[in-house]
Amino acid sequence: MRRWQAGRTSTVVCVDTVFVPSTEEAPPGESAHAGWPGRRTIAKWFGCFTVYAGLIAAFSGHADRTWSVWAFGGYALATLLLRYGRTWIVPLVTSVGISLLAPMIWLVTQQPPTAEVIVIGRGARHLLAYGTPYLPPSQLIDWKSYNPYMPVMELFGLPRAAGLNGALGDPRIWTTLVTAALLAATFAIASPHRLRDCPGCRRRTATLAAIALASPVFAYPLALGITDPPIIGLLFLTLALAYRGRWVPAGIALAVACAMKSTAWAALPVLADLAWVRYTPRVAVRITVTAVAATGLLSLAAAPTLVASTDSFLQNTVYFPFGLTVHKTPAESPLPGHILSTLGPGGHLAAMTLMAVAAAAFTGWVLLRPPRTAIAAGMVLAAGYAIVFILDPSSRFGYFVYPVGLLGWVTLTAGTPALRSLFLSHQQQEQRT
């Protein structure tokens, strides 16, 4: 139920009576949107971020430690400001500035590029020269030669490959800008009201986007040049569009993610299942065809000679991520799949078999108990990613930003009973007017 109140000026202020005010302090002017986590909850989150950054600083080195030292101070200061201050702007600006921007600028200008930055830069140069970002099999001489990303990911390396020198040419700058825009768009689409009509929704969108961007899920990989944040942001956007019933745009957003990195493909069956249950089989087919066709078109547009180098494409994007190439990534983790893969060919086969069985079981579970809302789809997708990453032979802890990020999106979008009831109720799905 919604009613509209007009103030003394021409600005329209919307008040949604579905929301029950939280017992925690909401941002100024947010009484109509108090269903999302309040200051004390967010302060506890940033306290956890502080501990995480401290552990990284104590037990890691190189670029990881550089980020964690900066982030520890930023998170600690933001925690104090959130707990004892009266404004949201100062702690969030402080956290984004010290935990993301400062270490990223330091790493870009003072330290050698990380492995991911090197791979994207080389792929972009090879794309401009030969129409494909992948080296031929004869030039795959060690693990650093492989490019596990899909063709559209190389767009982040094109500024440097095209001659833009300095910090502005670094892929980390562009992945950060794109990720920030995706987060803002996601929370804007999922907001209770139109941003142009509701100042409270504008503040809410900016605040939630800043919280997400400052979190280690995004700040850590963005500062180091790891390529997962834009993919996670596109998954958020896909779920937000699906919540609004905008299935074709959702399919296109998912296609962009799939054309950047193959990990995004896991979202397609979950999204199609949601469309089948909430609407009709025709809608599910439409979203599937849209996503698959758009992925193919985007990949071919980004790499016009991709079809002519199929073997190179498979070596880089399929065999290498699954540990099936001669040269394997040196990344290690105590996860079951990786431990099994170190036991020889039999162990690697056992890990692959277990992962296939787990994926089949997960698919059956989703078909038997399909998600009926975008929020439920986000939680299901988080569970699916966690299962796959635990059993993947080449997996490492960094991949868990996907399930953790999706759970964070669910919490920020519908983290309290009042707001969750708005998202989980089929009858209360509102249309933008």
Distance (Å, rounded) from C-alpha 57 to C-alpha 70? 9
* pLDDT in the model for residue 199: 85
- Cα–Cα distance measured from residue 284 to residue 390, given in angstroms and rounded to the nearest whole number: 29
What residues does 12 pair with on adjacent strands?
A: 6
How much is the pLDDT for 427? 36
Q: Identify the residue whose tokens are 């990223």.
A: 104
For 50, 132, 233, 307, the CA distances from 299, given in Å and listed in that order, are 39, 10, 19, 10
Distance set, CA 23 to CA 53, 203, 291, 418 (Å):
30, 19, 42, 12
Distance CA 122, CA 135 (A): 9
pLDDT value at residue 178: 97
Q: At which residue do the structure tokens 């996670």 appear?
A: 232
Rounded CA separation 124/151 (Å): 9
- The candidate with the shortest Cα–Cα distance to 412, out of 23, 16, 4, 45, is 45
Q: How far apart are CA 316 and CA 18, in angstroms?
A: 50
CA distance 293 to 279: 21
Q: What is the mean pLDDT of each run of 10 residues along the chain (433 residues)?
A: 36 35 38 62 93 92 91 96 88 95 94 90 92 89 88 93 87 96 93 82 89 96 94 95 90 96 92 89 92 93 85 87 76 71 77 83 84 88 89 77 92 61 43 37
Q: Which amino acid is at 431?
A: Q
Q: What's the pLDDT at 419? A: 42
- CA angle at 379 for the pair 376 and 381, rounded to the nearest 5°: 110
Q: Which helix (H) or strand (E) holds 3?
A: strand 2-6
Give dist(CA 148, CA 410) in Å, integer.
29
Round to whole Å and give the CA distance between 197 and 195. 5
**What DSSP string runs through 22-47?**
PSSPPPTT-GGGTTS--HHHHHHHHH
| Other CB atoms within 10 A of residue 226 CB | 17
| pLDDT score, position 415 | 56
CB 262 within 8 A of CB 150: yes
In angstroms, rounded to a whole number, what is the distance separating the alpha carbons of residues 316 and 366?
30
Non-local (6+) Cβ contacts of 142 within 8 A are 327
pTM as predicted: 0.86
Residue 388 CB burial class (10 angstroms; 0-12, 13-18, ≥19): buried
Quote the tokens at residue 23. Answer: 């017992």
Q: How far is CA 151 from the centre of its chain?
A: 18
Residue 242 to residue 373: CA distance in whole angstroms: 9
pLDDT of residue 225: 92
Distance of CA 307 to the CA centre of its chain: 29
Residue with the two structure tokens 């409270």: 200
